[in-house]
Amino acid sequence: MASHTPEPTAVADVPVLDLTPLHEGRDTASLVGTLSEACQSTAFFYVSNHGIPNELIQDALDASKRFFDQPLEQRLNTLKDRFHRGYLPMGTTRVPGQAPDLKDSFDIGIDLPVNHRLVEAGLPLHGPNQWPAIPGFKQATHHYFERVRALGMKLLVLFARSLALEDDFFVRCYREPTVLMRLMHYPTQGEAGAQESIGATAHTDFGVITILYQDPGGGLEIQGPHGEWLRAPQVPGTLVVNLGQLMARWTNDVYRATPHRVVNRLDRDRYSIPFFFNPDHYARVECIDSCTGPGRPPKYEPVLAGEHIAELVRINQGYRPPPTSEV
């Protein structure tokens, strides 16, 4: 049953940030200014010259397609485990009160052995990865994972500079981060089992930033300032970056998390690879001094990053951390 979700009437005015000065160690003042403007408006931007070779992106995308091309019985061999690694079938993700999302996915995180102290402590979203029996899958996805992780660390410096903070303000919170990469597969809207189902229901991301590759079919839509929905199509040679709830909390909504959704309006499957670049579990997220003052009191109570993210994952995906005694 196809969704009746109205189509956006315009393309979002999302800026493209050229990261060349960052990679070459040149003056980043202009780049930082553009970043700050983007974070206070759309809270989405594209990055060009990001340093990740197209071949690595295509290898990861090909690995993803080969996984989702398998029969369901084979995909279920790596069903999401207690460490939140592996396959999430259709209908796993469901925003409370909404129809289930029309997508399935495969989660990969930092590969920690079961005897790692954070895993033994029972921290949610920490543990070993699962790997499907697909030749080259682990290598292709791991290489892409590491390059996006390195890009994220560089972006953290730009965010700090844009808020007049020390360069390592955010970096200090990423010594043992809770990062997660998700291979996403969206069938066509014609395969929806419920009229209200779309690829990804309107939401804001839970963490600090998300770095996204989406295939040329697009499908990403962001909410404009008046509640309207706008297209954010693929721009060749770029990745999409958007802010999540933890960045909004850190900045007291000076930088905001913009609602967005995915609707696959084409007659073919859509693929994307979001990388949720989130900090250490015990990173304390509280209002930055420069983002508060007379007439702008802190809006949010301090939280631990990992607890905030794990609780939202639990609500949306039924996640439960493993008891310490079972690890």
Instruction: Quick: pLDDT tens for 216-259.
Output: 988 999 999 889 999 999 999 999 999 999 999 999 999 999 99
**Which of 26-30, 190-194, 291-295 reaches the highest mean pLDDT?**
26-30
pLDDT at 64: 98
pLDDT of 298 strictly over 90:
yes
Q: How remote is the C-alpha of 195 from its chain's centroid?
A: 26
pLDDT at 72: 96
Q: Tokens for 249?
A: 């909390």
* Order of strands, sheet of 220-223, starting from the edge strand that comes earlier in the sequence: 200-203, 260-262, 220-223, 229-231
pLDDT at 320: 43
pLDDT at 174: 98
pLDDT of 327 strictly over 50:
no
Q: What would the pLDDT profile of 75-117 be if each residue is shown by its tens digit?
A: 999 999 999 999 999 888 887 888 888 999 999 999 999 999 9
158-163 average pLDDT score: 98
pLDDT of 43 strictly over 60:
yes
Q: State which amino acid sits at residue 143.
A: H
pLDDT at 326: 36
DSSP 169: T
Secondary structure E strands in the chain: 16-18, 44-48, 86-88, 104-109, 180-186, 200-203, 209-214, 220-223, 229-231, 238-243, 260-262, 270-277, 284-285, 303-304
167-188 average pLDDT score: 96
200-203/104-109 β-pairing: unpaired
266-271 average pLDDT score: 92
pLDDT at 304: 97
Interatomic CA distance for residues 66 and 193, integer angstroms: 24
Which residues are CB-neighbours of 240 under 8 A, at least 6 positions away? 14, 44, 45, 46, 210, 211, 212, 213, 214, 220, 232
Decide: pTM greater than 0.85: yes
Q: Among 167, 134, 157, 6, which residue's Cα sits nearest to residue 59?
A: 134
pLDDT of 322 strictly over 80:
no
Q: Among 122, 141, 138, 139, which residue's Cα sits nearest to residue 84?
A: 122
Whole-number Cα distances in Å, 109 to 86, 177, 215, 278: 10, 10, 22, 11
> How much of the chain exceeds pLDDT 90, in percent?
81
pLDDT at 273: 98
pLDDT at 193: 59
260-262/104-109 β-pairing: unpaired
Q: Among 64, 18, 1, which residue's Cα sits nearest to residue 235?
A: 18
Interatomic CA distance for residues 236 and 242, integer angstroms: 17
pLDDT at 153: 98
260-287 average pLDDT score: 95
pLDDT at 3: 52
Contact 45, 267 (CB under 8 A): no
Q: Tokens for 223?
A: 């909410």
Fold of domain 16-326: Jelly Rolls (2.60.120)
Of 130-134, 307-311, 314-318, the one with minimum mean pLDDT is 314-318
pLDDT at 9: 81
DSSP string computed for 229-289: EEE----TTEEEEEE-HHHHHHTTTSS-PPPEEE---SSS-EEEEEEEE--BTT-EE---G
**What is the distance between the terminal CA atoms of the chain, rounded to a whole angstrom?**
43
Instruction: Give me the chain's average pLDDT, please.
Output: 92
Three-state DSSP state, 293: strand
